[in-house]
Each structure stands twice: as C-alpha cells, then as structure tokens.
Amino acid sequence: MRAAVLGANDGVISVASLVVGVAAAGTPQGSILLTGVAGLVAGAMAMAAGEYVSVQSQADTEKADLEKERHELEGEPERELAELTAIYQHRGLDLDLARQVAQKLMLHDALGTHARDELGITETLRARPIQAACASALSFVAGAVVPIAGALLAPASQVVAVSFATALAALVALGAVAAHAGGAPVARGALRVAFWGALAMAITAGVGRLFGAVV
C-alpha cells in the first residue's frame, strides 16, 4: 500500500511537472508528449529500482535476525524461553501461565514464535522486494498516465492548463484515498498532497517559462 500510494503520487507530480515545465517553455506538443513518455519510463524504472533496493535491505536484515535467533535457540534454549516468558508477562499474563504458553508455542514452532513475538516478523508482513518493486513501478505508470493523457487530449494552446488541472484532480483523489485508508482526515490529506503537487508544477512551469523566454 505504501509503495503503491508513493508511486502513484510521484508519477503524477513528476511527470506533470515535466509536461507543464516543457509546455511553458513553448515546446511543440509532440515534444511535450515525448518528454512525458520518457519521464514515465525513467521514473517507473527508478521507482522500481529504489523500492527493490530498499525492501531487499529490509529482507536481508530480517534474514540475518532470523539466523541469529536460530543459533540462539540451538545454543541457549532456556534463555530464549525466559525471554519469551517475559514478553508474555509484559502483555499481561502471570508468570506460570506465561511460561506454559511460551513452552507450548516453542514446542510447536520455536523460531516462528520468536520471530513473531520477539522480532516482530510475520509471514504477512515479511519484506517482499520484487512485489514492492512491481507495485511501485506500476503505480508510478498509473499516476504518470494522467498528465500525459491531459497533454495528449488538450488543444496545443492549453496544454499547461489542462495538464495542471488533470494532475491536480488526480492528486486530490489520491490524497483522499490515502488518508481514508490510513484513518486520517480525508480533506486534510487531499489538500496536503494537492498543495505540494501544485507547488512543484508551478515552480517547474516558472523555470520552463524563464528558460523558454531566454532561448
């Protein structure tokens, strides 16, 4: 979810900024579209690579932690039992019951139990680099399509305005969805994303117009 929302937001903002900046410089519509498509491809690959490296580092850390835990279970089982018992005591069980629960669970799956309750590693939340990279790249493409479509369908003289408006509408929707999914105020989340997206596009448009005027 995090990778998907980040990718879509980045796709809209970065490609819309490219399109608006190049259009503000007076570039022909064909070149604007080419710039947008190039930004889409480059951005998707960059998002995928960055997400993969980040999540793979997390996966490597999890693997190292599990290997360390496996060695400790083999070498110091009583110490590991005491650690698990203390964890369950901290969660509200009395000493005898906490020790009984710890013993039962360790007999069933010692490493899995310690991974879940001591290290916070579960199968559902395990780091999945390829899945994260694909989600990030695909969501970036989905976001980037919005300003490209706006530039494609807009009259040549209105590329900046149409691309800006369509991108802003997409950012409002993405911000609202992300806020709703996270349980945050929807209006605040939508406005926050829209503000930073509008600022990025406005600055890029200003730079494009400045350099276009100079050229």
- How far is CA 173 from each of CA 72, 76, 140, 166, 177, rounded to the nearest angstrom? 49, 53, 15, 11, 6
* Whether residue 115 has pLDDT greater than 90: no
Going by pLDDT thresholds of 50, 70 and 90, the confidence category of residue 93 is confident
Boundaries of every domain in the chain: 2-53+130-214, 59-117
Model-level pTM?
0.69
User: Can you give the pLDDT at residue 213?
Assistant: 45
Does the pLDDT of residue 121 top 80, yes or no?
A: no
Average confidence score pLDDT of the chain: 85
Complete DSSP assignment for 12-68: HHHHHHHHHHHHHTT--HHHHHHHHHHHHHHHHHHHHHHHHHHHHHHHHHHHHHHHH
